[in-house]
Structure 1
Amino acid sequence: MNKPIFWFDFGGVLTPPIKAIIYQYQQKTQLPANIMLQAVKDTAAEFGYTGLEPLEIGLISEQEWGRRVKNKLTQLQPNIDTSKADLEHFGRQWFENIQPNTLMIDKVRQLKKAGFTIGLLTNNVREWEAYWRPMINLDDVLDIIVDSCKVGCRKPDQTIFQIAEQQANTTAQHCILIDDTEENCVAAQKRGWQTIHFIDNDQVLKEISYLTANESLE
């Protein structure tokens, strides 16, 4: 039987926790996190989406999104100081000085060396690719990258799991998703995937070891 494909999420798995990156962004820009998150939410709502969805499915450009978010910030707090925030180039500032999760990066390389196929299944933004790919430095390891902004749908939409299977020329039962968002794990399970809900490195490393030792998966 063929070995399973390990699909890694990017943000929160191959990077520090998203909450930690939000805190760092607040320190860089002096924008209160709660106000920034509300502005992002209000911007998405204009398109009938939530969070970063308009960016993550490639609906709007980063520059347009940044302008809209800045307008929302000033509506929410008219005297807010946005001078330290480069919202039209949000990704550049967001990823500045962010270090990858080296333990998980090392695990990706170990799995590849052991003969497993490695995929990246990420909700991401077109303009951010110039920052996140060099950060994790896995271009020589990743067999498949399925990026929401390039396929026009995002986790937890069932369609993106189907696209991943098609691109890997495999079936659901051979796919294992490692993701820090429980909703994405639940959606993948409904598709027939196995999942590891990322809580911390130790937990995930133990679960990966269990799966790779299970002869029924090899």
Structure 2
Amino acid sequence: MVHKKEEIKAVIFDINGVLQLGNGYSNERNGSIEGVHNYIANKLKLSMDHYFDALDTSYALSIEGKISRKKAIQTIAKNLKISQEKLRLLFKKAYKRKFKKNKKLLKFASKLKKKGYKTAILSDQWHLSEEFLSPKKLTNRFDYVVLSTTAKVRKPNPKIYRMVLKKLKMPAKNTVFIDDRNWNIVPAKKLGMNTILFKDNKQTIQDLEKLGVK
């Protein structure tokens, strides 16, 4: 998965499954977006089909910022027949139970920043996951942040990768992008970015070192 082309000057991280790990997954892979939805459906005593019917298009539109936070929460809460506050609290509990900060990789990213590397986040979120999985306390550690909710486009659309490159003000060949989903890696490669498919911290840090990032 690693092929060195040019000197790496910037490291770009995904959040879900990379900087935020699925709780209870020994290999550190993310399986927890599904876990979040299962948790909420179970709490509301709904089948997964009924639960996803309630999310309707609002969830997908929220990921791409094509619907306001207020409208997304309002619509989904109404469809689930619960209050907006209960919806928010359910997701808060679910994200807290199903995810944990990847402290080791966050520490490594901070170390890279101190050494002069540019660091960035490129992540798909929706309005409530953005609140709980990518709070300012986390994103402020990085030089640049591109989230789908504000970019109004999501991975694997090449546009969102170009946005982060524009913020970094450097060619793709001088960057490396880390994601846990292979289909999100593909467009980055096509644009000329170096890529690492995240499996666990040890493998990812070793792959960065092979690219000369240490």
- What TM-score bracket applies, with the shorter chain setting the length? 0.7 to 0.9
Alpha-carbon distance in structure 1 between the residues aligned to 2:206 and 2:35:
28
User: More displaced, 102-111 or 30-39?
Assistant: 30-39
**Structure 1 pair 20–135 and aligned structure 2 pair: CA distance change class (3 A):** farther
- Structure 2 counterpart of 1:212: 212
Contact persistence 1:182–1:197 (CA under 8 A): yes
The answer to whether 1:125 aligns with 2:137 is no
- Structure 2 counterpart of 1:78: none
Alpha-carbon distance in structure 2 between the residues aligned to 1:36 and 1:6:
40
Alpha-carbon distance in structure 2 between the residues aligned to 1:37 and 1:194:
38
User: More displaced, 61-70 or 163-172?
Assistant: 61-70
Alpha-carbon distance in structure 2 between the residues aligned to 1:99 and 1:213:
25
- Structure 2 counterpart of 1:7: 12
Contact persistence 2:39–2:94 (CA under 8 A): no
**Structure 1 pair 3–194 and aligned structure 2 pair: CA distance change class (3 A):** closer
- Structure 2 counterpart of 1:198: 198
Contact persistence 1:100–1:135 (CA under 8 A): no
**Structure 1 pair 157–198 and aligned structure 2 pair: CA distance change class (3 A):** same
Alpha-carbon distance in structure 1 between the residues aligned to 2:191 and 2:172:
7
User: More displaced, 52-61 or 154-163?
Assistant: 52-61
Aligned counterparts, 1:152-191, within 5 A: 152-191=152-191
CA apart distance, 1:138: 4.8
Contact persistence 1:188–1:194 (CA under 8 A): yes
Alpha-carbon distance in structure 1 between the residues aligned to 2:167 and 2:103:
27
Letter in 1 for 2:43: Q
The answer to whether 1:34 aligns with 2:48 is yes
**Which SS does the other structure have where 1:104 is aligned?**
helix
Contact persistence 2:17–2:180 (CA under 8 A): yes
**Which SS does the other structure have where 1:65 is aligned?**
helix
**Structure 1 pair 68–138 and aligned structure 2 pair: CA distance change class (3 A):** closer
Instruction: Give the TM-score of the pair, scaled to structure 1.
Output: 0.74
Higher relative contact order (CA 8 A, sep 6+): 2
**Structure 1 pair 23–120 and aligned structure 2 pair: CA distance change class (3 A):** same
- Structure 1 counterpart of 2:86: 86
**Which SS does the other structure have where 1:7 is aligned?**
strand
- Structure 2 counterpart of 1:20: 32
- Structure 1 counterpart of 2:25: none
CA apart distance, 1:134: 4.2
CA apart distance, 1:154: 1.4
In structure 2, list runs of 5 or more residues that go unmatched: 1-5, 23-29
Paired-residue identity, %: 22
CA deviation profile, 1:146-167 (whole Å, cap 9, x unmatched): 1221121111111111111111
- Structure 2 counterpart of 1:109: 110
RMSD: 3.3
Aligned counterparts, 1:46-57, within 5 A: 52-57=59-64
The answer to whether 1:62 aligns with 2:66 is no
In structure 1, list runs of 5 or more residues that go unmatched: 75-81
Letter in 1 for 2:62: L
**Structure 1 pair 142–33 and aligned structure 2 pair: CA distance change class (3 A):** farther
Instruction: Give the TM-score of the pair, scaled to structure 2.
Output: 0.75
